Amino acid sequence: MSERNKEKKAILKNPGEKLLRVTVYPDGERIGDIQLAGDFFIYPEETIFDIQSCLVTLKPEPRAIIEAVEQVVHHKNIQMVGISPATIAEGVCRAMEEK
Amino acid sequence: MAVARSETWRLIIDTQLPGARNMAIDHAIMKAVADGKALPTLRLYGWDSPTITVGYFQNVEDEVYIDKCRKDGIDVIRRITGGGTVYHDNEVTYSVSIPLASAITYGTILESYQRIGIPIVHALSDFGLHAEYQPINDITVYGKKISGSAQTRKMGTLLQHGTIMVETNIDEMFRYIRVADEKNAGRELAAVKDRVVTMCSLMAPNLRCDHLYQHIAAAVARGFTKEFGITFREESLTEYELELAENYQEKMFSNPDWNLHRKVDAI
């Protein structure tokens, strides 16, 4: 199995938020592909794909991830309930750290 | 800000239906309201057999014991709304489809969850239950969840559907639903089960719960009238909605591509 196909996962639930499951398919030190799942709410729902796409090729650096998500949120007029850019960043970094 | 006292909504009191049909009808009503072909609508309904729905953003394999569901004939259906996994069994479900221009939807999304939750609190109080709205999307009695809801906003329209657990079999629920440790802070399954509660378990022990459905449905409608001054006109689905529902049922809610993988062809 190539490095890229080896999936890494993290699950977290921060206070006041919903459960977030992150699955990352690393491409070296960067995010090759990613899936965000859980019982949160994102409006419009279909923009989850935009949020996931904006993370591809990024390194697991919280500041960069938060900025990328916030940019999409602003550009696409997305509203998040039970999930936040900071939680996504935390989940991605935790997943990437998984051995 | 109060809703105009003259607002008239349609009331649909449905029977117990298959899960795919229920989700298709909610979707069809939302579309009809969006198209200006239906009044704002409150629908009350039940489920003809135990059914699991998962939220738009959830992975089925993460949330349910899918093989056990298949073996026991429990349908697993993906909602168009976010939120969590729900085991629907002996409950009353409500759905509200209203234009986003409605006064009920003003403010933040969180505020609209609360606003739509209050009539459910009123309905439960009609049965002597002191319920409270708990952010984000729960209603509790004595700190235990009795009702949950999920909302989507599309085509200038809000759809919120939610459950009221009447006589739901909590033990059966957890035979099919996986419990994530992170969500329950490492609590044992028994403690997790103890965090949900049904109406019948809280009411008089000799009460016959099988006759409650119509009374609860009526109480929910009264709750909306009490809170917002809504006048209801009891009607059925239109031909337009029935046709839409047929299409959604076939192409989405009976389709494993949608239910398991969130994939849908153009409808």
**Which chain A residues are Cβ-neighbours of B57 within 8 angstroms?**
36-40, 42, 45, 48
Residue B238 · residue B29 · CB < 8 Å: no
pLDDT of residue A60: 96
Q: Distances in Å between the alpha carbon of B146 and those of B89, B130, B139?
A: 13, 11, 6
**Which chain B residues are Cβ-neighbours of A34 within 8 angstroms?**
none
How many residue pairs bridge chain A and chain B with CB atoms within 8 Å of each other?
A: 59
Kindly provide the ipTM of the predicted complex, given to two decimals: 0.94
User: Mean pLDDT in runs of 10 for chain B (267 residues)?
Assistant: 70 97 98 98 97 98 97 98 97 97 92 97 96 97 97 97 95 92 66 89 77 93 97 97 98 97 84
pLDDT of residue B1: 46
In the DSSP assignment, the letter for residue B89 is S
Q: Does domain A3-97 have CATH number 3.40.50.150?
A: no
B residues 141..170 contacting A (CB < 8 A): 150-154
Give this prediction's pTM.
Answer: 0.94
Out of B109, B110, B183, whose CB is closest to A13?
A: B183
In chain B, where the domains are located:
8-256
Q: For the segment A23-57, what is each residue's pLDDT rounded down to a tens digit? A: 999 999 999 999 999 999 999 999 999 999 999 99
- Token readout for A70 is 């916030």
- Token readout for A22 is 């992150």
| Any A CB within 8 A of B136 CB | yes
Q: How far is A41 from chain B (nearest CA, A)?
A: 5
Q: How far is A11 from chain B (nearest CA, A)?
A: 7
**Which chain A residues are Cβ-neighbours of B84 within 8 angstroms?**
18-19, 39
pLDDT of residue B73: 97
Out of B109, B154, B182, whose CB is closest to A19?
A: B182
- Token readout for B121 is 């609190």
Across the interface, whether the CB atoms of B109 and A79 are under 8 A apart is answered yes
Question: Could you tell me the strand order of the sheet in which A30-38 lies?
Answer: A8-13, A19-27, A30-38
pLDDT of residue A1: 44
Across the interface, whether the CB atoms of A37 and B62 are under 8 A apart is answered yes
pLDDT of residue B135: 95
Cβ-based neighbour number of residue A52 at 10 Å? 17
**Which chain B residues are Cβ-neighbours of A79 within 8 angstroms?**
109
CATH for B8-256 is 3.30.930.10
Across the interface, whether the CB atoms of B57 and A39 are under 8 A apart is answered yes
